[in-house]
């Protein structure tokens, strides 16, 4: 894929409404939201709880469909029009996810967990394992490769989750409060690792965060109020 495209992700007039309560009252989470995110940008999505930050991120990540509007990747791929099988493949090849909870599989060790996206792609086991080990070493986990997730500290679990998000070389990395469950020292360490690797591998990074220090590392800050993007700061 040519990396000289203008936009990595583009949203046009995206709206999302949920039904809530016994009367199925409509809750407008996003309304006519739009933004262009250029390849290589680092974006912090901020705002009060319940303002639509995670919903916006999940729509960008093709985990949730908007009720209206369009989501385009790499200037010409409208993911809303992809059939389910192609959409799943697109996500696996182009988008890496990190959530507040690590969602590692305790029945597998760290190497196997990190290699899982490559296994899903059908990559040869030896190649997948090598790449997983390389990324674990990037995160200082060379002595934890064969540990099960429950044997790791919270910071080590989340570093493993970030390695898993990067291992398939996705163009876009999406993170939802990736350091929200860590103590300040662990959070700062992981934030620096994330940003340094983003720069090293020239990824597009989009992060939902309440952490002021982490948001200040990004080159663009977005504030969401009442379902709309209210502020974009460079």
Number of alpha helices (DSSP H) and beta strands (DSSP E) in the chain: 7, 10
pLDDT tens digits along 25-74: 788 888 898 999 999 999 999 888 878 888 999 999 999 889 999 999 98
Structure letter (DSSP) for residue 186: H
Q: Could you tell me what percentage of the chain is helix, strand and coil, using 3-state DSSP and rounding each to the nearest 5? A: 40, 30, 35
- What are the pLDDT digits (tens) for 173-220? 999 999 888 889 989 999 998 888 888 888 999 999 988 899 999 999
pTM to 2 decimals?
0.90
Residue (of 168, 198, 195) closest to 179 by Cα position: 195
Contact between 45 and 9 under an 8 Å Cβ cutoff? The reply is no
Other beta carbons within 10 Å of 160: 27
The architecture (CATH level 2) of 40-66+82-233 comes to: 3-Layer(aba) Sandwich (3.40)
CB-count burial class (<10 Å; 0-12, 13-18, 19+) for 104:
buried
Percentage of the chain lying above the pLDDT 70 cut: 97
Boundaries of every domain in the chain: 40-66+82-233
Mean pLDDT computed over every residue of the chain: 89
């Amino acid at each position: 894929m040519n990396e000289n495209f203008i936009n990595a992700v583009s949203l046009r007039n995206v709206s999302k409404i949920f039904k809530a309560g016994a009367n199925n009252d409509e809750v407008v989470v996003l309304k006519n939201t739009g933004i262009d995110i250029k390849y290589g940008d680092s974006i912090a999505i901020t705002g009060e709880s319940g303002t639509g930050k995670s919903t916006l991120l999940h729509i960008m990540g093709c985990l949730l469909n908007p009720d209206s509007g369009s989501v385009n990747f790499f200037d010409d791929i409208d993911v809303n029009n992809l059939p389910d099988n192609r959409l799943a493949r697109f996500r696996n090849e182009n988008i890496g996810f990190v959530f507040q909870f690590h969602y590692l599989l305790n029945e597998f060790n760290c190497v196997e967990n990190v290699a899982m996206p490559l296994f899903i792609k059908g990559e040869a086991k030896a190649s997948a394992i090598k790449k997983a080990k390389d990324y674990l070493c990037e995160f200082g986990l060379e002595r934890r490769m064969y540990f099960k997730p429950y044997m790791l500290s919270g910071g080590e679990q989340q570093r493993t989750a970030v390695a898993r998000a990067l291992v398939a070389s996705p163009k876009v990395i999406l993170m939802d409060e990736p350091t929200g469950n860590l103590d300040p020292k662990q959070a700062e360490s992981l934030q620096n690792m994330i940003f340094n690797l983003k720069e090293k591998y020239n990824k597009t990074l989009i992060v939902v965060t309440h952490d002021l220090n982490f948001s200040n590392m990004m080159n663009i800050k977005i504030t969401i109020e009442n379902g709309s993007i209210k502020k974009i700061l460079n």
